[in-house]
Structure 1
Amino acid sequence: MLLLAVAAAPLLTSGVSVLGPTLRSELNLSRAQFGLFAVVIFSVAAAVSVPLGKLSDRISHKTGLVLNFTLAFAALMVLATATSAAGFIASAVVGGAALGMSNPLTNRMVNVLAHPAHRGRIVATKQVGVQVAQVISALIYPMVAGLLNWRAGPGIGAFLVVVALGVILAWLLPRSLFPAKDGSSLHPVGDEIRASPRFGMIVLTLYAVLSGIIYQAAFLTLPLFAHEVFALTPGAAALTGAVLGAAGLVSRLAWGTMSDKRQNAASALLLVAGLTSISLLLLVLAAMYTAGWALWAGTVLYGVSGTAVTVVLTSTILLHFPPARIGRVSGVVALGTFAGFAFGPMLFGFMVDSAGYPVAWTALAVCAALAGCLIVVTRARASGGTGTPGT
């Protein structure tokens, strides 16, 4: 159920990605207009994450799920009926609201419904919904576009969203024994979950901004980088994205299990993720001067680490903040992630155009180092403090 809720909104973003050339041709989009889609959708998601996070703390899970799927359905239908750049950007606005709703809502549901010892794995499983949406879009949208037209792709995506909501309301929701609207937990944990300065909202949000910049810039740029620098064919270059996604799918599940087993070491997991991201960026940079194998090694390494950051961040929120604040805290951290998503590729592209790929990849490595420094400084302050453990 949670996986479906997370997968709904990415059916739009993944669909725009795989239908990119067709959309540019059919809607007469300039490169700037097409690139504006990512800026708009992630900026809107960042802007609405906090208010929708607060809303998810107040409404029932059923209402939240209906709202989540309705926004995703509306975004796909706006794209399917678009006839110009205005309609294309309008779908990004609605899609941004859908993205901003899903994470706080599903995080609160995990907190209320799941036993603390299993939350990391459940969070990892729900986040795999993003990869599921990518696979569905990549397999179905181009095929139906060839058989019918490009509008059939997002149209089928909208149909799948309705089917998923129907399955949830008719079968999964009644079987899940959802609590009352007041949000009372099936597994009360009392003081086991409390706000901890070590994992304060500011630190988590800044970490989310930096990791979001790195991930989205790498995800969108690796295929182009492989094509331009290593002269790979577009199809071969696109495999970098596939490798990154496949490694990320497996690693999210593995990191979710580690989060369950190392609940008191979430900062260490975030530190490892940051340092491993540096390794990717340095390997990619080295590939320009050595051999192509370093590019693939770096891509796999980042897929194993960088894509798992969301899982560890969410597990940390669920462990260290009270149930009544999960939605709003998730919204604030999601704001940081989406802000990084919105501006990371644009800043990276500006650096490539003005100074070249080596400077751009080095800048991402600096972002990863800063993310690691955030955790190091926070851990040092915690161990040197005079308060109770965990402060």
Structure 2
Amino acid sequence: MKNIEYSKYISWKMLGWLFAIQLLIALVARSLAPLGIIIGDDLQLTKSQIGMFPAALFLGQSLISIPAGLLTDKIGSRKMIFFIVLLLGCSFLIISISTSFILLLFLISIAGFAYGASHPATNRGILLWFSVKTRGTAMGLKQMGVTLGSALATIILLPIAKSLGWQSATFTAALILLVVGVLICSMYSEPRSIGYVRNTNQTKPTSRKIDFKNIIQMLKHKGLILITFSAMLLSGSQMILNTFIILFAHEKIGISLLLSGVLLVIAELGGSLGRVSWGIISDHLFRGKRIIVLLLISILVAMISLIIALLPHGTSFYNIAFIVFIFGFGTSGFNGVWMNATTEIVHPSVSGLATGFSITFGSWGVIFFPPIFGSIIDQTGEYTISWLFVTFLMVLSIISLSITLKSNGGTKIHKLD
């Protein structure tokens, strides 16, 4: 009994370190959303160009996710996280002294390599430390670090940017990541390194030929493709909310810049609660049936995006805050369920590859949709059609998940434990 209790203690302790590193990574990488309006004013950018910041970040993520997944499966999470901290921190240090829009896009893409690699690295940690019965909750808690990190970026970095400039804000974020991130890496351990091995029947690919074969198998996996397509739509909608809610509230609704920044914090707090809540719901209410939960999230986001499209100028802060909270609860809260779905449909030995595969193609939603959203605003001069575009994306997600649900009844495609 004591050994079981100790192993549980170690698992949750390691979750704490994974959560902390996820939060720090998000504090840096996701700072582009709250700082976008200030960077845009400083460099005189259009709405479409501001939308290219998250697009560049997720372009880097899409290019690196599969290689990062393969590398994570080979070298383990701890070493991978260390490399991620160094690459992301150094990228943003250089960003803090850059003034060219093109150079910023290039550097943000490099930072996207680190941000994209963080998902398979930390997801593998969850897979190895937790059983399927608690993995949804653990993944939700870990993913909550992303939304809380983004919220902290607004709370900490936006005031710094307003008073000292966005360069000072990005430098501060990078320095925090490099110092604290390295300390966290020294605290985190792999299960086997401390003599704790859960029975996941894990094996490692032994050659590039096997790795290539696994990639081909995933390309043929209907369930994985449909889930990834839905994740692409949800991810794009999530980043649209994060990138444009400040601009929308300030320009369309008429709320002050400070309170508009608070709305982003509220959206991320909603997302943080959503990541834990949806994980618990999928674990206990739906007994691990992740597809049903993703379908419910898509329906919720479709309804909320339709409501926000119809909001008039002068809507009270409290009303829009409630709407944005629910919006974030859905579109920023789906990630943990998505991450579980990608790791549970394949053998544990290729869980990093599965995550990287899904993130690679899921990232294309963030690459394309925020710039399209911004371009609609540039062309029409208002936001209504842009938010209806989000509703349309959710209709496509609902269709995709409904097909998946019909194919397998919402059950897990691959049982791990």
Q: Same fold (TM over 0.5)?
A: yes
Equivalent residue in structure 2 for 1:220, among 243, 248, 271: 243
Q: Measure how far apart 1:233 and its partner are.
A: 2.8
Structure 2 residue 374 is matched with structure 1 residue 374: no
Q: Which amino acid aligns with 2:55?
A: V
- 1:264 is paired with a residue whose SS is coil
Number of residues paired by the alignment?
Answer: 378
Q: Measure how far apart 1:59 and its partner are.
A: 1.3
State how 1:1-391 maps to structure 2 within 5 Å: 1-20=17-36, 23=39, 28=43, 30-31=45-46, 34-142=50-158, 150-170=166-186, 172-173=187-188, 176=189, 178-179=191-192, 186-190=197-201, 200-261=223-284, 262-288=286-312, 295-355=320-380, 356-383=382-409
- 2:144 is paired with a residue whose SS is helix
Maintained 8 Å contact 2:343/2:355 = no
CA pair 255-33 structure 1, distance change in 2 beyond 3 A: closer
CA pair 204-289 structure 1, distance change in 2 beyond 3 A: same
2: CA distance, partners of 1:98 / 1:41: 9
CA pair 359-326 structure 1, distance change in 2 beyond 3 A: same
Identify the range of structure 1 (364-373 vs 348-357) with the bigger mean alpha-carbon deviation. 348-357
Q: Which amino acid aligns with 1:178?
A: P
Maintained 8 Å contact 2:54/2:239 = no
CA pair 383-57 structure 1, distance change in 2 beyond 3 A: same
Q: Measure how far apart 1:44 and its partner are.
A: 1.5
What are the superposed Cα offsets for residues 272-294 of structure 1, whole Å, 9 maximum, x if unpaired? 10111111012213434996576
What are the superposed Cα offsets for residues 88-140 of structure 1, whole Å, 9 maximum, x if unpaired? 23420221111110001111111112222221122112212223322443344
1: CA distance, partners of 2:313 / 2:179: 50
Structure 2 unaligned segments of length 5 or more: list them: 1-16, 203-216
What are the superposed Cα offsets for residues 149-186 of structure 1, whole Å, 9 maximum, x if unpaired? 6544333323322333332243x22xx453269xx982
Q: TM-score, normalised by structure 1?
A: 0.84
Output the aligned Cα RMSD. 3.3
CA pair 136-93 structure 1, distance change in 2 beyond 3 A: same
Identify the range of structure 1 (145-154 vs 69-78) with the bigger mean alpha-carbon deviation. 145-154
Q: Which runs of structure 1 show a deviation greater than 6 angstroms over 4 or more consecutive aligned residues?
A: 146-149, 195-199
CA pair 212-186 structure 1, distance change in 2 beyond 3 A: same
1: CA distance, partners of 2:221 / 2:312: 39
2: CA distance, partners of 1:222 / 1:151: 22
Q: TM-score, normalised by structure 2?
A: 0.79
Maintained 8 Å contact 1:215/1:306 = yes
1: CA distance, partners of 2:391 / 2:100: 38
Identify the range of structure 1 (114-123 vs 134-143) with the bigger mean alpha-carbon deviation. 134-143
- 2:334 is paired with a residue whose SS is helix
1: CA distance, partners of 2:136 / 2:246: 31
Q: Measure how far apart 1:218 and its partner are.
A: 2.5
Maintained 8 Å contact 2:66/2:356 = yes
Maintained 8 Å contact 1:199/1:316 = no
1: CA distance, partners of 2:312 / 2:159: 36
Maintained 8 Å contact 1:279/1:298 = no
CA pair 149-349 structure 1, distance change in 2 beyond 3 A: closer
2: CA distance, partners of 1:25 / 1:291: 25
Identify the range of structure 1 (246-255 vs 128-137) with the bigger mean alpha-carbon deviation. 128-137
- 1:308 is paired with a residue whose SS is coil
Structure 1 unaligned segments of length 5 or more: list them: none
CA pair 252-202 structure 1, distance change in 2 beyond 3 A: same
CA pair 93-19 structure 1, distance change in 2 beyond 3 A: same
CA pair 251-153 structure 1, distance change in 2 beyond 3 A: same
Identity %: 20
Q: Measure how far apart 1:34 and its partner are.
A: 4.9
